[in-house]
Structure 1
Amino acid sequence: MSRGGTAAGRAAAGTGALVLAAALTACSGGDVGRRAEPPSAPGGRDGAGTSATPGLPYHPFDGGAESPRGPVLAVKIANTERALPQSGVRDADIVYVGQVEGGETRLMAVYSSKLPERVGPVRSARISDLSILAQYGRPAFAFSGVQSKMKKDIRQAPSYDVSQENGGSAYFRAGPKPIPYNLYADPRDLLELAPEATGPRDIGFRFGPAPAGGEPTASFTAKWPSATMGFTWSAEEKRWLASFGGRPDVAAEGGRLGGATVVVQYAKTTRSKFHDSLGHYTPLIRTTGTGRALVLRDGKGYDARWSRPSEGQGTTFTTADGKPMTFAPGQVWVVLVSEGSPVIP
């Protein structure tokens, strides 16, 4: 990892995000696929609770005091050069970046406070996604599919399967790119398939004024075996502007992607029991337990620790002296990198 230094379809996406309440009002009716089956574990795994967020005066995902608290939707999105630019990422509350086969990366965008007009390119899910999502209660989970051996895990996960297999006309192909880089989905239609998807709950994030300390940081580059993403502080926009492979990461709707807070979470990356058709094993990213993190906000980097006792519990972040590590209100990126050197398990 390098830290410091300076950094240098239905066609284009629509007019930006709509608040969730308005979006859901507008999506009544329509030809959609069958309703998602409820999760087989009613209480969630490892004690996953309800969607209530007592004691938090702000949205638990983005820190917004007035942010609408709609149902939670998570979408898997391609994150390779051929997939860019992506649609809908800029309107997510939280964006996870995680390693997949071959040392490449894929995104999982989490929505609650607002919805884009479309999202994609939608790609397939991975086993580590289910562990991450368990802390969200019972969200709707959108993806293009999974290998047959993983379908049992999908059925048992405490989430609503609104994948392409179940999604009907919520999914569509658009634009000049070939399969699999032309699959998109309408988030409103996806949520219609999961009317009982839970709302946002406390997942451990805390928002507020920056803690004392921190090291002035102009940029940071996250590295995986076959991919890099950079984040450069913009004092003008008061957020970290994303790059992919050394080039500006531009949204399909226009403007740079990036977040008010970037969490670089170092996690043990091992080999799962799954692999692709070429024999490349799927990484298993361990997001339970404890580890170190780097939190970027307000042009500074803060050394931090993360802790998540079980899959049903949220992930908390603390400063070096054990106090809560507060995030800046706005979009949060959680960048999952291997503890130690980049590795293909």
Structure 2
Amino acid sequence: MRIRVWGLVMVLVVVVAGCHGNFVDQTSKTEEKEETTSGTLSRDPFTGMPEKGDARSALMVMVNNHAKARPQSGLNRADVVVEILAEGPITRFAAFYHSQNPGKVGPVRSVRPYFLDLAAGMGAVVAHAGGSPAALKRIESERIPSLDGIHGAARYFQREKSRQPPHNLYTDVEQLRQGANQQGLSPDSAVEGPWRFDDRGAVEQGRSASEVEIRYGSRYQVGYRYDEASEEYIRYTQGKKQVDRETNQPLSMNNILVLYTDHQVVDSAGRREVDLKESGKGYLFQKGKRIAIHWENRDGWLVPLVEQEVVPLLPGKTWINILPEDGHVSSRG
């Protein structure tokens, strides 16, 4: 009798353990499989892809999104892209590079304080072309690692004759890494982050969303369409498929986060304060599905949650659209 009871208890323990939580973290199991004779492969904190851990710099490049700056170069190789309004209806991209090195990036544009909040949390050297007075003051007073293409670090940037200023300043990820090393801006340790990754993602919790439309306002909208063959979303801007200038390949990504937060216009030039330090509501799109989430800022990272549990991202590229509270997102089948 005791043997039968003990066997029943063990079965119940296994069942309960297997059912715990909505989002099962498979990272530890995956990493166990990634052990090799030359060492243990860790996951890149930005992409969740296997890599050899090292102390190379993360870079955040400010990329122009004015109509005259399109198509841009290098957004297709960014691990993470964050899109936020700058002045008026025009957004700007913060493109994060960590897992990949070579290649042209641009046009490079100026930085704002709320982008600096992201760079500080994600351990990134900021590559930019000047900035708002508030942003430049913060860089100086807080000693934020930066390479300014028009103030002191011009040798790591180039002007292209095929475009008119201010839409013609470009750089290269390898150049920026060299600049960071030469300026003593390289980190002492590898970047760490709170994001979770899972090959299954969180689609079991989602609703169909093969087409996504995002409106920042009446004059600017972006969209994403899911491609079942590649299991990625394809980016559209103002109804037109957005491509990389160098390769003419469409911009694609594995995860799309749409996050709502407070925006306040603070001066006559239309500059804004954007609150990325608190929390809010939003959506996560993966594999043609939409998941309603809550987001929090955890040590400078924008983390998706459901019932206070971190929602796993798919390994790969992530794009984050930061919307004002009157912005609009819709999706369908």
1:78–1:121 Cα contact (<8 Å) kept: yes
Paired AA for residue 201 in structure 2? A
Paired residues of 1:227 and 1:245 also in contact (CA < 8 A): yes
Which is worse superposed, 200-209 or 87-96? 200-209
Deviations 1:148-174 (A, max 9, x none): 454211213453120111223211111
May I ask how many residue pairs the two structures share in their alignment? 279
- Counterpart Cα distance in 2 of 1:302 and 1:147: 35
Structure that is richer in helix per residue: 2
Offset, 1:57: 4.2
Q: Please say if residues 42 and 50 of structure 2, whose CA atoms lie closer than 8 Å, have aligned partners that are also in contact.
A: yes
In structure 1, what is the Cα distance between the partners aligned to 2:301 and 2:41?
A: 14
Separation of aligned partners in 1, 2:309 and 2:284: 14
Q: Displacement of 1:201 after TM fit? A: 2.6
Match of 1:264, SS state, is strand
1:81 is aligned to 2:61: no
SS at match of 1:315: strand
Distance in 1, Cα, partners of 2:120 & 2:103 = 26
The 1:73/1:92 distance shift into structure 2, 3 A limit, reads same
1:129 has 2:115 as partner: yes
Match for residue 266 of structure 1?
260
Runs (5+) with no aligned partner, structure 2: 1-39, 329-333
- Residue 221 in 1 paired to residue 213 in 2? yes
Q: Is residue 253–residue 319 contact of structure 2 (8 Å, CA) maintained in 1?
A: yes
Give the aligned partner of residue 46 of structure 2.
61
C-alpha distance in 2 between matches for 1:183 and 1:128: 22
Partner of 1:146: 131
Structure 1: 5+ residue stretches without partners = 1-54
Residues 2-21 of structure 1: pairs in structure 2 closer than 5 A = none
User: Secondary structure of 2:62's partner?
Assistant: strand
Q: Could you say what the CA RMSD is over the residues aligned between the two structures, in angstroms? A: 2.1
Q: Structure 2 length as normaliser, TM-score?
A: 0.78
1:299-338 equivalences in 2 (<5 Å): 299-308=288-297, 312-319=299-306, 321-338=307-324
Distance 1:255 1:68 in 2: 30
Aligned pairs (5 A) from 1:1-345: 57-66=42-51, 70-137=56-123, 139-157=124-142, 159-164=144-149, 165-195=151-181, 196-198=185-187, 200-208=190-198, 209-211=200-202, 212-225=204-217, 226-252=219-245, 253-272=247-266, 275=267, 279-308=268-297, 312-319=299-306, 321-341=307-327
TM-score normalised per structure 1: 0.76
Instruction: Name the counterpart of 1:10.
Output: none
Question: What is the CA distance between 1:108 and its match in structure 2?
Answer: 0.7
Are the counterparts in 2 of residues 61 and 200 from structure 1 also a CA contact under 8 Å? Answer: no
Q: More strand by proportion, 1 or 2?
A: 2
Q: 1:126 to 1:237 in 2, by over 3 A?
A: same
Identical amino acids, percent of aligned pairs: 23
> 1:48 corresponds to which residue?
none
